[in-house]
Structure 1
Amino acid sequence: MSTSNYDIDVILRDHITQGDSGSGPHKPLKSQLRAYLKSVETGTLDRYNSKVDVENNEVRSSVLSVLTHGYTAAGDGGGALYKRVDAEPSHPGKFRSADRYLTDGGTDATNGGWWEIDERITTPKMYGAIGDGVNDDTVALQDCITSGRFIDLTGGIYRITDTIQVAVSKSKIFSAALTTLQGFAVRQGAILVDNPSIGIALNCTSTGTIFENIYIYSAAQITAEAIHFDRSAGSSSDRDHRVIGVSIVNFSTCIKMIGRGLHVKDCQFSTATFGVVLDWPASWTPNGAGNDTTITAGRSYVITNNLFHDCDNWVTNEGTENPQNIRSVVVSGNLGDLGGCIFRGVLVDGAISGNICNLSDYVYTMRINDGSRNSAISGNVMGGLNEGGEGNQPNHCVYMTPETIGIKNIAFTGNVFGPTHQGSIRIDGDAATTNISFVGNTFQQPGLDGFSPIYLEGVVSGAKDLSLIANTFDLTGSAAATIIGGDNNALIRVLYTNNSVQNNAIPVAQSNVIVYQDGPALGMAEYVHTVYSARGGSSWVAGDTVVGGHVVYSADTSGPGAGIVGGYKILAGDTTLNSTIMRLLAKDSSGVDHPTVDITTSYMRPVFSNEMSCGSSNRLWTAVYATNGTIQTSDERLKDFDARPLGEQSAVIAAAKKISFRSYRWIDDDGKTHFGVSAQAVMEAFASFGLDALEYGLVREEGGSFFVSYTELLALKLAALETDDRPAH
């Protein structure tokens, strides 16, 4: 029954979810309210109890809009605004009244009397859904999603028994989650899937679709996908899909994405085998050429701030259609409160950071597959607990499988690994691993079953290059024999420096594994062992028979004793790795390790000739004991002699005769009387004949002190005696 009474409260109530970004998601559109008021003013709007009520009545020819207060009956939640149209609409959300009027007031027996929904935001109840979780709302929900772009599920539980097709691009399916509207509590909208053979609940073939704040669940675990994105080839108007604040429970796969571009944020995935599965369309060529434009090719996959509750695999990229094409995957800030695997598959140009995966009894908490490269894994906490039995630890934290292509350029930084039954890091496969670095990580109780913290298997021909820098290994309760274990193979090369090993003194690796440190000053690989010294304790060596040197650091600063502060470096071998030479290195002014002294059983010598002194002006030796005296270079080929004999240089000889030897004691008395000269007396003697003693090798000034070369002085004194003994002519 129609009425001309206008009730603004009814309009506000019935259209409370109508909104736009300018006025908030749950406020009436100003434009719609203006249209309502104008319609009432001009008499072109009528109100009816329900859609069924309108279908059974003739609507006046002047009326262009009708407002219903229900779908089948007033108050059932299906009220909507409809507008008169001049032909039957091709989409759901339509009905025909008993009249045959057109919008111009004329009549048409074929096309007259048709109406369609005139709402920006629609609800399934406007299409006949009950939303009580009992009645089957499959058809109504499908009609709503097919017809509209903004679908509001607030307050309803929509039971479905068949797949819902989502084909409208840039659409949004949402609900007002856990909030209050106009003083009434509002329940989060839900989709109850009641068919264990459904396969896919929501099949999304559109682009740019948003699912926000809805609840998708099954009463029991089913083998099905909750949301399936099958993204077609891109275009300049293409948009990434977004899943925000969605809860998915009891599905084998929560979200599967085939194609480019997916953002998943603030969701909860519970009781699932797979959380988010990524795959590549079979029809797309490996690099996307011919399938996607430059604008859309560089898409990303961002999975952040989600809760994975009892979810075996959080994010997976193991598709059969070249998973290396899935790039720029970001997995960050997620929590798995019952463990699981954070990421499983190929990781290319990606980042995994800030995730927490604890209480895990899964085989591994991260699997990096063959072909992974150029990615960062940082700030994650992954492993198990040691309080509650061995069932609370995974076998490994990270499992890497370089099988045919290899894995390269992966940086693990600032992670916490463990506790684990076996190695925290396991590398299994014969292809090469290149530039795999572990920097600043904590390995907590790895290898509780006797495995090494880093465990390698299947190394036959592919080299394994690892860098371990500034990591901490807490080996409490660990039965590991070496830090790096498994295959005892010289193809395994490890840069090992500045690491801390606690509560168990074990070597770095077995005898054949090469442990090294880069030596840019020598232009070669410096093979090293590492020696740690505990305060007041004995040293131990990490490594066995590798030809190399020792880098010495303090491993334990607690307890009594001096310990080792800082450290020093000794390289065994010269540039040809001659193991009979021990070489000392010191950092030069640029901070580069610079060779200084070689020591053998026959001599100790500087590495580079005429480059360094023995002692300095403020660092003096008290005495030098030697079987033979010092031997100076005297090869005539290295000298430029003065043409005149020393005896014919009268001024120098006269100065020498004026220098007198004297007895003295050191001011810092050593209890001895010594014989010699003072440098100042030598300089005065030379100055009295117009000579500067500092221009000769006899006297030198360094650090504010003066020094005399007695070898030079004695040669000069002997020349003076020669002139006295020479016959007169």
Structure 2
Amino acid sequence: MQSRRSFLSFAGAGLVAMGCKGALASSAFREDAGNPERRLWHVEAFGSGQSKVGSGGDDTVALQSALDSGEMIDVTGALLRISDTINVNYPGANVSSVMASRVGNRASSKIRVSENSMPRLFNVSAANFEASGFFVECDAGNAVTTLFHFERPAGAAADIDAVISRVGTEGGGKIFHIYGRGLKLDGCTFANTKIAVGDLDFPVSWTPNGSSNDTQETAMRAYQFDNLRFHGVAAGVRNVGRNSLNCGGIQMTNIHGDIGIGGGGAFVGVARDGQFANILSRMGATNGGGIVDLHDGSSNCAFTNLGNGGFKGADVARLVRNPIVIRSGPIGVNELSFIGGTIGPCNRNGVHILGHGKAQNIAFLGIAFDRTNIEGNQYFPIKVEESGGAFTEVSIKLGACNFKFRGETPAACILGGLNSAVVTLYRDNLTTKPKGIPWTQSNIVVG
């Protein structure tokens, strides 16, 4: 029986010999648009015939022609060099590889971005795009390219519903920027992005479909991030763009930040009605790194089994600064539960609540605080600090937590920073701390 890969090579060679290349696949797709019989075509089938696709020249035209055909495109074994944006404007586009060898001179199933100033690699303007099984590489000096940009035409529906699975990347600005709802990332490894892993955003203009789940308040949702590795990225997934306060339904699980997550953490921005679990940052690459950085308006979220680690010794210093940052403002933050896991060792406070207004019902349940403030001025595992105004209410709950202290910095108290009666600490009998270190300062209310 003929193997799949040899069949693809045979098909590509046949098209070149016939002088048809991508034209055959493209016309077949158009002639029966009502019920197209889509096939899997190798990208080599869309070469110009002047030189073999992936032989060292520029392969932009071949990949663009392949996507223009409307067929499902296979890049198995190819090493493509792309110098301009690939536009994808039809629903259900698919680019995939059976397997990839990602690094070294014998790398294959790889797309290499050869132009450092290119703003986007794939510019996707239709729903249900899928990419899987290949590797994308940018030069070390590339700080701008977004690898997958999702944005429907002005006025079009907010639906994106894209899937990126088993894709590896190296460098560039961001992995994705999505304007609209619906994105799944699964089983990917992202390394050394200069801006972030990606941004959740909302269309400038669109026409709602009339349903209650398609309004300005409800349409930004359905984001799933699972089984991902972040290696030295500047930041993780961010919800900091247009309409961020109405973004809900974020699910983020099984994230490993190898050698640190800089720029705030695996997740940065407003988190509402979401679930976050099993996020680990084993080592800190920068003092600015962390696990999550939650912005004003965050509410009704559970963060389960978060953890960061760190090293501090004569020869090595790998400590994040603040593993958990919670920023309150005019809207306030409330009902945020951190359940299980370890916070620390870290450079500064394990939890930093910063801002003004109300930060209500911030709960820590079964958390081990391991040697926070290793390079700080005083030992405050949890700190409340005013910024941009005054706090009117802060309520923190501790259940079955433990605080470890080894004298790295002068002992102060468990809850430090703002010494005001607007701050209330609730704790149970299962929460323990070192002897001689008070729970709070003098004016804090202990419930």
* TM-score of the two chains, using structure 2 as the length reference: 0.85
8 Å CA contact 2:187, 2:227 repeated in 1: yes
One-letter code of the match for 1:14? F
The DSSP-based 3-state class of the residue aligned with 2:67 is helix
One-letter code of the match for 1:193? V
Alignment partner, residue 120 of structure 1: 39
Distance in 1, matches of 2:331 and 2:436, equals 36
Alignment partner, residue 465 of structure 1: 395
Alignment partner, residue 475 of structure 1: 405
Distance in 1, matches of 2:37 and 2:427, equals 70
Distance in 2, matches of 1:199 and 1:302, equals 25
Alignment partner, residue 224 of structure 2: 302
8 Å CA contact 1:81, 1:118 repeated in 2: no
Is residue 2:257 matched to residue 1:336?
Answer: yes
CA pair 187-463 structure 1, distance change in 2 beyond 3 A: same
C-alpha RMSD of matched pairs (Å):
3.3
Alignment partner, residue 147 of structure 1: 69
Aligned with 1:490 (options 418, 421, 431): 421
The DSSP-based 3-state class of the residue aligned with 1:144 is helix
The within-5 A match list for 1:378-397 is 378-387=304-313, 391-397=317-323
Alignment partner, residue 272 of structure 2: 348
CA pair 292-170 structure 1, distance change in 2 beyond 3 A: farther
Is residue 2:293 matched to residue 1:363?
Answer: no
The within-5 A match list for 1:4-43 is 13-15=6-8
* TM-score of the two chains, using structure 1 as the length reference: 0.53
Is residue 2:327 matched to residue 1:401?
Answer: yes
Alignment partner, residue 98 of structure 2: 176
CA pair 312-239 structure 1, distance change in 2 beyond 3 A: closer
CA pair 15-131 structure 1, distance change in 2 beyond 3 A: closer
Moved more, 453-462 or 420-429: 453-462
User: What is the Cα deviation at residue 359 of structure 1?
Assistant: 1.2
User: What is the Cα deviation at residue 230 of structure 1?
Assistant: 1.4
Distance in 2, matches of 1:396 and 1:52, equals 58
- What whole-Å deviation, never above 9, does each CA across 1:228-278 have from its counterpart, x for those lacking one? 111467769x56110000011111211212211110011011111311221
CA pair 470-143 structure 1, distance change in 2 beyond 3 A: same
Distance in 2, matches of 1:508 and 1:49, equals 74
User: What is the Cα deviation at residue 53 of structure 1?
Assistant: 4.7
Identity of aligned residues (%): 26
Distance in 1, matches of 2:391 and 2:45, equals 67
- What whole-Å deviation, never above 9, does each CA across 1:344-385 have from its counterpart, x for those lacking one? 100011111101112113424121000100100110112422
The DSSP-based 3-state class of the residue aligned with 1:443 is strand
One-letter code of the match for 1:191? I
The DSSP-based 3-state class of the residue aligned with 1:355 is strand
Alignment partner, residue 137 of structure 1: 59
One-letter code of the match for 1:246? V
- What whole-Å deviation, never above 9, does each CA across 1:615-668 have from its counterpart, x for those lacking one? xxxxxxxxxxxxxxxxxxxxxxxxxxxxxxxxxxxxxxxxxxxxxxxxxxxxxx
Aligned with 1:214 (options 106, 131, 134): 134
Distance in 2, matches of 1:269 and 1:122, equals 27
User: What is the Cα deviation at residue 299 of structure 1?
Assistant: 4.0
Moved more, 8-17 or 432-441: 8-17
8 Å CA contact 1:424, 1:453 repeated in 2: yes
8 Å CA contact 1:372, 1:406 repeated in 2: yes
The within-5 A match list for 1:405-484 is 405-448=331-374, 449=376, 450-458=378-386, 460-478=390-408, 479-484=410-415
Distance in 2, matches of 1:10 and 1:307, equals 32
The DSSP-based 3-state class of the residue aligned with 1:135 is coil
The DSSP-based 3-state class of the residue aligned with 1:313 is coil
Distance in 1, matches of 2:351 and 2:24, equals 63
Distance in 2, matches of 1:483 and 1:189, equals 52
- What whole-Å deviation, never above 9, does each CA across 1:88-113 have from its counterpart, x for those lacking one? 95989x9xxxxxxxxxxxxxxxxxxx
User: What is the Cα deviation at residue 170 of structure 1?
Assistant: 1.2
User: What is the Cα deviation at residue 485 of structure 1?
Assistant: 0.4
Aligned with 2:243 (options 319, 322, 338): 322
8 Å CA contact 2:353, 2:385 repeated in 1: yes
One-letter code of the match for 2:203? P
The DSSP-based 3-state class of the residue aligned with 1:126 is helix
User: What is the Cα deviation at residue 289 of structure 1?
Assistant: 7.5
Alignment partner, residue 123 of structure 2: 203
Distance in 1, matches of 2:164 and 2:430, equals 42
CA pair 14-453 structure 1, distance change in 2 beyond 3 A: same
User: What is the Cα deviation at residue 133 of structure 1?
Assistant: 5.6
The DSSP-based 3-state class of the residue aligned with 1:142 is helix
One-letter code of the match for 1:511? S
8 Å CA contact 1:484, 1:509 repeated in 2: yes
One-letter code of the match for 2:7? D
Distance in 2, matches of 1:49 and 1:245, equals 28
- What whole-Å deviation, never above 9, does each CA across 1:520-566 have from its counterpart, x for those lacking one? xxxxxxxxxxxxxxxxxxxxxxxxxxxxxxxxxxxxxxxxxxxxxxx
Distance in 1, matches of 2:180 and 2:37, equals 34
The within-5 A match list for 1:485-524 is 485-516=416-447
One-letter code of the match for 1:194? S
- What whole-Å deviation, never above 9, does each CA across 1:194-245 have from its counterpart, x for those lacking one? 1011111111111111110111112333121111111467769x56110000
- What whole-Å deviation, never above 9, does each CA across 1:264-307 have from its counterpart, x for those lacking one? 0110111113112211222259xx67598559947411111111
CA pair 166-490 structure 1, distance change in 2 beyond 3 A: same
8 Å CA contact 1:358, 1:385 repeated in 2: no
8 Å CA contact 2:23, 2:69 repeated in 1: no
User: What is the Cα deviation at residue 339 of structure 1?
Assistant: 0.8
The within-5 A match list for 1:573-652 is none
One-letter code of the match for 2:298? S
